[in-house]
Amino acid sequence: MPRRLDHLVICVHDLAKAALDWQTLGFTLTPTGVHPFGTSNRLAMFGNNFLELLAVTDAAAVPPVAPGRFSFAAHNQDFLRTGEGMSMLALHSTDSHAEAARFRAADIGGYAPFDFGRDAVLPGGGVARVGFSLAFATDPAMPGIAFFTCQQRHPPELFWKAEYQHHPNGALRVVEVVMSAPEPAQHRAFLEHLTEGAAELVPGRLTVGECGDRITVLGPSGMARRLLGYAIDGSPRFCAARLAVTDLDATKKNANNAYEACKVSEGERTSNACIKTWFDSPQVTPAELIGKSDADKIHGILRVAYEVPEVAAAPCGRTFEDAFILANHALFDLAAPSEDEAAKKAKEEGKSDFALKYAIEKTVWQVPRYISEGLKWLAVLNQPSMLQVADAIGCAAVPATPHQPAQEPNG
C-alpha cells in the first residue's frame, strides 16, 4: 500500500536560530535531540508526522561515506555546503530492514539498513531512550537530495507527546511535499518504487501517494502556476511543504450542556485552540471573530487566517469546504449562498474527493476570501513587489523559504 509521509529533514547551519524562527512562526518544538553521529535536531511534531530541524553540531563525529553504507550525517553536511533547506524526505515504515532489501531489489538503494538510538527529553524533564531503523533510497537523477523510510523501535508513547503536538499556528500535519524538476516524468519509476504507489502524470506535474500523504513533482509550467516566482534550476529539489491547519470550528451547547459543532451563525464559541490562544480569549465567539480587523489578526511576522463571510452580512463557512462552496455557490448549483446547503454539499462530496476534484479536475473557481487575504499578506511580507500580482489573481502561492514552510488550510 502507498506509504504515508513520516517526516521532512530541514537542514540548517544554526539550530538555535532556526528554532527561534520557527517558534516565532507559531510552531512548538521539542527539546534538542543529539544523535551519536554528529547531528542534532528539534522537531515540530504533529498527529502522525513531523518536521525535523537538523544541524551538524559535531563534525568530528560524522561517519564518512563507505561502500554500501549511506551516511545520514555526511549527506546533510554536504547539503549545507550549498545552502539550507529540505534535504531529505522520510516515509513511515514498520520494517526498515525489509525496506532496505526491497530498495536493493528495485535498484534504488544498495545500502545497509541503519539502526541507532538517542535520548529524548520528555515534557516533564525526564529522559527516554528512543530507537530508529532507517532504509535509504537515492536516484542519480536527483543529486543532492535523498529519501528513506523510518521505523520507530520504541513504544509510541515515548515519542509522541501531546504537549509537543499542539501548535499556536494551528498546524495539524504535513499533507504534501512539493518538488521541482525540469522533467517530472523522468522520476516516475523511482517514486513509484519508493512509495509502492502508482503515480499520476499530467502536463507539468507528477503526483504519487494518497490525498493527505502526497508527493508532487512540478515542472516549469506547474511551478509557474503554483509557486509564483520560484525558479527551477537544473536539478530536482524539494521546494515546499503543505500543512493542514485548523478551521473556525463553531460550537454551541446541546441538551446535555456539552459543546457540539454547529453553523457559524448559531455559534457560541470556537473549539479551535489556535484561535483561542491567538486572541487570548477562551470564550471568543464566532461573531466576534468575524468582526476582527486585519490588525487584530497580525502579530509581527505572523497572521492568523480563518473563515469569514465573502461579503458583509453573508453566510460564513465553518470549514474550508463550506467556505469554498459559499465563495463558489453557482459552481455547486446553489441559487444563493446558504450555510445549510454548503454544509450539505460538503458532506456529500467528502474531504478527499473534494480536494482532488477542485485541485485537479475543476480548476476555475474563486479563492475564498480568508485564504486570499492571508496569501496576499504573505506575498507582501515576503516580497512587497508581489502585491500587484496578488491583487491581479486574487491570491498568491507563496514558496517555502528554508526556515518557513508554506501552509494551506485543512481540506
Say which DSSP state 357 is in: I
Q: CATH for 171-245?
A: 3.10.180.10
Distance CA 66, CA 54 (A): 22
Distance CA 74, CA 333 (A): 57
User: What pLDDT does 402 receive?
Assistant: 39
Kind and range of the H or E element at 270? strand 269-270
**Residue 258 contacts by C-beta under 8 Å, 6 or more apart in sequence?**
none
Q: Which residue has the cell 515519542?
A: 159
Distance CA 135, CA 23 (A): 31
Q: Which residues make beta-bridge pairs with 251?
A: 261, 269
Does the pLDDT of residue 234 top 60, yes or no?
yes
Does the pLDDT of residue 400 top 50, yes or no?
no
Q: Which residue has the cell 455557490?
A: 329
Grid cell in block for residue 1: 500500500
User: What pLDDT does 244 receive?
Assistant: 82
Average pLDDT score over the chain: 87
User: What pLDDT does 381 receive?
Assistant: 57
Residue 51 and residue 29 in contact, taking contact as beta carbons nearer than 8 Å? no
What is the pairing mode between strands 214-218 and 171-180?
A: parallel
Q: Which residues make beta-bridge pairs with 39?
A: 56
Does the pLDDT of residue 88 top 70, yes or no?
yes
User: What pLDDT does 221 receive?
Assistant: 86
Q: List the one residue out of 4, 44, 32, 11 whose CA is nearest residue 170.
A: 44
Does the pLDDT of residue 396 top 90, yes or no?
no
Residue 149 and residue 99 in contact, taking contact as beta carbons nearer than 8 Å? yes
130 in helix, strand or coil? strand
Q: List the one residue out of 400, 404, 393 whose CA is nearest residue 180.
A: 400
Grid cell in block for residue 96: 526498515
Residue 244 and residue 410 in contact, taking contact as beta carbons nearer than 8 Å? yes
- Give mean pLDDT, residues 338-358: 84
Q: How far separated are the first and last CA of the chain, in Å rounded?
A: 22
287 in helix, strand or coil? helix
Instruction: Return the domain boundaries, the chain.
Output: 5-165, 171-245, 247-291
Q: Do domains 5-165 and 171-245 have the same CATH topology?
A: yes
**C-alpha count within 13 angstroms, C-beta hemisphere, residue 201:** 11
pLDDT in tens, 266-299: 999 998 877 888 898 989 999 999 999 989 998 7
- Dihedral sign for Cα 202, 203, 209, 210, please: negative
Determine the topology of domain 5-165 in CATH: 2,3-Dihydroxybiphenyl 1,2-Dioxygenase; domain 1 (3.10.180)
Distance CA 139, CA 192 (A): 12
pLDDT in tens, 289-329: 999 998 999 877 678 889 999 998 899 999 999 999 999 99
